[in-house]
Structure 1
Amino acid sequence: MNKAEYINIIPFSQLHMWDVKRHLIREIQSSFPLIPLSELIEENNNKVKLNEYPDKEFGILGVNNIDGLFDAYTEKGKKINQSYKKMETNELAYNPYRINVGSIGMKTFLHKNDYISPAYVVFRCNERLNPEYLYKLFKTNTFDKIINENTTGSVRQNLKFDTLKNIRIPLPPLSEQNQILETYSKKIQQAEELEKNSMVLEEGIEEFLYDELDIKKIEPKTETKIFNTISYKEVERWSVDTLGKLSQIENKFQGKYQLIKLRELINSYQYGLSEKSSKEPSGYPMLRMNNINNSALNIRDLKYIKIDEQTFLKYKLNKGDLLFNRTNSKELVGKTALFDIEGKFTFASYLIRVEIDDNKADKRYLNYLFNSSILQYQKNLVSRQITGQANINAQEMQAFLFPNPPLTKQREIADKIESLKDKARLLKLEAIKSRKEALKEFENEIFKKCN
């Protein structure tokens, strides 16, 4: 039995807090000197009583573990009761209760807002430490472990500023910090270039659709006419906000192919289940509106539902079913995805399952059109805003107009779009890989691996 596995010698100078958690960890290793942050950072407690300026608009910042620091919202001073901290460029802020999951950010010249909740810890770096170097350090796996080992609290883990100051970091000379960051930035620029190229391919899909369908792309304009003449054949729903919209769509999107209503291309439709679902992986997985993303399914965040076999068979998704999102934000309502994965899945009530008639339309073609601006224009015309959510019912969905080329042409268009999307997806994956490599190389440059 090796005594060293159970006994760890701690210098008295490092005993800032008396708990086992901090002193069972091994000292980090680096070829650079380890300097306590107390010598490098200073807290910013510059608070302003914003309600003393009741009619002035203040830009508020937020912090999360995805975007870091971000411009959250603007609010009039009279609605802000607490004194908020004012952040300066190059200062950092973190959520003391979520720093263990990476909730930290740095203010740059790109941020328009200046004020942040007093719940966040704000601090600046002195001339020995490049704040961007420290920010990237927080994002490494090694430093993330160090942060987690220094949080306290039995229910909510907390990292106080005084505790942060006692953490020691590898500190290269400032010139070398800048050089390490420059190498990192070059790799990130490569990733950004890949992301840009991916976006160009995605945007090219719209242009390709309009060209293939011989439709002139027209930007939607606000209708200013008070009186409108309606053809009787359009009157399927008697409401002022619906009448006349068919003519608007026909005028804007008539190309070389006849426009045909969705109801003429489908066999059936069905609303999903309204029963309560759970994240506990028990029962059948149930697809919801957040599982539809950019004409494809995203099943990373699934919920499950316990139902009997008979109910499941009634709502069981079949390969090739088109899922229509009938309730969501104005931008996302009406988005679709094809169910094209293996497994026993059902779907929630905010979705409509549509069975396409394969003899009349290509499923992929309709799916891509549903997610294009051609259909977005139509969705904007008919969707209704209720308590912050936009809604489109099954009757309105079936009235949407689609350019109807021959099946062979639909398949040709779908094949081309599929190819463009595959190329865009590969570029995104390369960009993700490049970003991960950039951070890993940064980390390897700073820390030596422990034996």
Structure 2
Amino acid sequence: MYSKVTRFAELRRWDVKQLRTLSWPQEPSLLEPLSRLAVRRSETALSTAPLGSISFDGSVTVRAGERLIQGRTYLAKSGDLVFSKIDARNGAIGIVPPSIDLLAFSTEYPIFDLTSAEALLPQYAALLLRTPIFLSQLEGLAAGHSGRKRVTPEDFLGLRVPVPDQEVQRSIVDEYEEKRASAIQRIATVENVVPQTMVEIQDVLGISMDLRRAVDTRFTAQLSQLSTWSVRRTRSDLSGLSDELRCAFPVRRLGDRTVAMILRGVSKSPRNRPNQNARPYLRVANLRAGFIDLSDIRTIDVPEDSFESMRLHLHDVLVCRNNSLELVGKAALWRGQVEECTHDDHIFRVRVAGGDVSPGYLEAYINTPYAQAWLQSRAQVTTNLAGIPGSALANLPTPIPDRAVQLKVESLYQTALDTYAATVDQAYQALQEARSLAAANVSNATPRTLR
């Protein structure tokens, strides 16, 4: 049970959340309001300016896809602070990086210039925004109806933060950047381990990337050549990978009853929000090629009478059905990491149907350049989303080598994954330690003396 006593004069509004926010260790009189450190931008962006996006981890990037916002947008420059009114409480607040000159944001994303006040270095501000103290205070500002709580620019500018001298800011930033660069360099040393292994696996299977001649942007096709009313698909059908796989072993379709079953997941809707039959489930955010990220597992309501048909079985191969084009088709083997688990309908589960192929072999094969190119060329693409039809996955040409070759493929693939994962895990641990140290340094920095 949480309890806290506070004076009425200390309340900014009738909201319990603000009583749970963390406080800076410095004397309140030494903290400075953001209104003194940041200036709101209101410059209208040209229609040619790329739209920006802010992730919950604070990264600011160019939004993928076409520019669909019809209303007025506002200009953000490199080094500016931007946040989402709705999702700031979830961490959607960050600094436009030096690699991006200009971005456009809607009115839901207030933009602030940090350079005019000459108090906060943008790189230091980026670290300050990720401190647990600042994020808790930001969450305490969110007001409104459940699910649509907003942080207003006025409340944001009322927050007070410690601001050390710029020499101290540079020192903290330099230390963090040095540790971050070291971690990134460590990851770079194993970036090509898995891709090179996938090429080696294709060589073991004797796969030939049989490419037809390229098709120009403008082309003609006979009606008999059309598989769908899609220019992109027809161009893919006339060029790119052939439907017939040339390799050193017998070939069957993945959905052949002697190879595997292609199964769907739970369709999300307001009716299956977590309730008395809440079950853990996987989303595309949990799925990567060769890996399943268990850091954020959510629940969905699946009644007992229908759960058995949706349950993940040990060694099911999960395949991404819907995502951006470069991510659809990625596969990972389920090893029973979470009990009573299912998945949503944006993921296929491929379940081995006989003894001719092993699940580990299928995982490795589906992630080969050939299988990925084959699946992605048959994806149905909308503005910001691609999807693989179940029929396309079922029709994937699949080599069926003997057991010894399958075991060799599995071994090559797993060794590559283990090498990559071990190095990346060490690097991410070092990166997390660097972030924690930077957050501590920022939170405990001695405020500057104001003249």
Same fold (TM over 0.5): yes
Alignment partner, residue 52 of structure 2: 61
Q: Alpha carbons of 1:128 and 1:219: their partners in 2 closer, same or farther (altered >3 Å)? A: farther
Aligned-residue offset at 1:422: 1.9
Kept after mapping to 1: 8 A contact 2:120/2:166: yes
Rounded to whole Å, the distance in 2 between the matches of 1:327 and 1:89 is: 33
For residues 122-161 of structure 1, give each alpha carbon's deviation from its aligned partner in whole angstroms, at most 9, with x where no partner exists.
2222223212212211101122223334555575554444
Kept after mapping to 1: 8 A contact 2:212/2:239: no
Structure with the greater alpha carbon radius of gyration: 1
* Amino acid in structure 1 at the alignment position of 2:82: A
Q: Alpha carbons of 1:306 and 1:445: their partners in 2 closer, same or farther (altered >3 Å)? A: same
Aligned-residue offset at 1:442: 1.2
Identity, % of aligned pairs? 15
Rounded to whole Å, the distance in 2 between the matches of 1:443 and 1:381 is: 45
Q: Alpha carbons of 1:34 and 1:323: their partners in 2 closer, same or farther (altered >3 Å)? A: same
2:168 counterpart of 1:173: no
Number of residue pairs the alignment of both structures matches: 423
Q: Residues 170-249 of structure 1: matches in 2 within 5 Å? A: 170-215=162-207, 222-223=214-215, 248-249=242-243
Rounded to whole Å, the distance in 2 between the matches of 1:362 and 1:99 is: 46
Rounded to whole Å, the distance in 2 between the matches of 1:433 and 1:280 is: 32
Q: Alpha carbons of 1:115 and 1:430: their partners in 2 closer, same or farther (altered >3 Å)? A: same
Secondary structure of the residue aligned to 1:129 is coil
* Amino acid in structure 1 at the alignment position of 2:127: K
Rounded to whole Å, the distance in 1 between the matches of 2:221 and 2:400 is: 31
Secondary structure of the residue aligned to 2:38 is strand
Q: Which of 334, 337, 343 lines up with 1:339 in the alignment?
A: 334
Rounded to whole Å, the distance in 2 between the matches of 1:328 and 1:96 is: 26
Q: Alpha carbons of 1:345 and 1:74: their partners in 2 closer, same or farther (altered >3 Å)? A: closer
Kept after mapping to 1: 8 A contact 2:131/2:443: no
Kept after mapping to 1: 8 A contact 2:375/2:388: no
2:284 counterpart of 1:303: no
> Please, what TM-score do these two structures have when normalized by structure 1?
0.75
Aligned-residue offset at 1:180: 0.8
Rounded to whole Å, the distance in 2 between the matches of 1:313 and 1:266 is: 23
Rounded to whole Å, the distance in 2 between the matches of 1:293 and 1:213 is: 23
Aligned-residue offset at 1:76: 7.5
For the aligned residue pairs, the C-alpha RMSD in angstroms reads 4.4
For residues 24-72 of structure 1, give each alpha carbon's deviation from its aligned partner in whole angstroms, at most 9, with x where no partner exists.
978622499934135742323333275xxxxx52322233323532222
Alignment partner, residue 81 of structure 1: 71
Q: Alpha carbons of 1:209 and 1:107: their partners in 2 closer, same or farther (altered >3 Å)? A: same
Kept after mapping to 1: 8 A contact 2:78/2:98: yes
Secondary structure of the residue aligned to 1:80 is coil
Q: Residues 36-55 of structure 1: matches in 2 within 5 Å? A: 36-38=32-34, 40-48=36-44, 50=46
Q: Alpha carbons of 1:408 and 1:272: their partners in 2 closer, same or farther (altered >3 Å)? A: same
Q: Which runs of 5+ in 1 are unaligned?
A: 51-55, 231-236
Kept after mapping to 2: 8 A contact 1:292/1:298: yes
Alignment partner, residue 133 of structure 2: 142
Kept after mapping to 1: 8 A contact 2:319/2:330: yes
Aligned-residue offset at 1:188: 1.1
Alignment partner, residue 283 of structure 1: 277
Aligned-residue offset at 1:436: 1.9
Alignment partner, residue 107 of structure 1: 96
Kept after mapping to 1: 8 A contact 2:279/2:340: yes
After TM superposition, the structure 1 stretch with the greater mean CA deviation from structure 2, 142-151 or 131-140, is 142-151
Rounded to whole Å, the distance in 1 between the matches of 2:246 and 2:342 is: 37
Q: Which of 412, 416, 419 lines up with 1:416 in the alignment?
A: 412
Q: Residues 440-451 of structure 1: matches in 2 within 5 Å? A: 440-448=436-444
Aligned-residue offset at 1:260: 4.2
Aligned-residue offset at 1:420: 1.3
* Amino acid in structure 1 at the alignment position of 2:432: K
- Of Structure 1 and Structure 2, the greater strand share is in 1
Alignment partner, residue 425 of structure 1: 421
Secondary structure of the residue aligned to 2:301 is strand
Q: Alpha carbons of 1:381 and 1:8: their partners in 2 closer, same or farther (altered >3 Å)? A: closer
Q: Which of 68, 74, 93 lines up with 2:82 in the alignment?
A: 93
For residues 341-381 of structure 1, give each alpha carbon's deviation from its aligned partner in whole angstroms, at most 9, with x where no partner exists.
16344566666554435642222112211122211233245
Rounded to whole Å, the distance in 2 between the matches of 1:419 and 1:281 is: 41
* Amino acid in structure 2 at the alignment position of 1:80: Q
Kept after mapping to 2: 8 A contact 1:210/1:217: no
Rounded to whole Å, the distance in 1 between the matches of 2:22 and 2:314 is: 53
* Amino acid in structure 2 at the alignment position of 1:301: R
Kept after mapping to 1: 8 A contact 2:311/2:340: yes
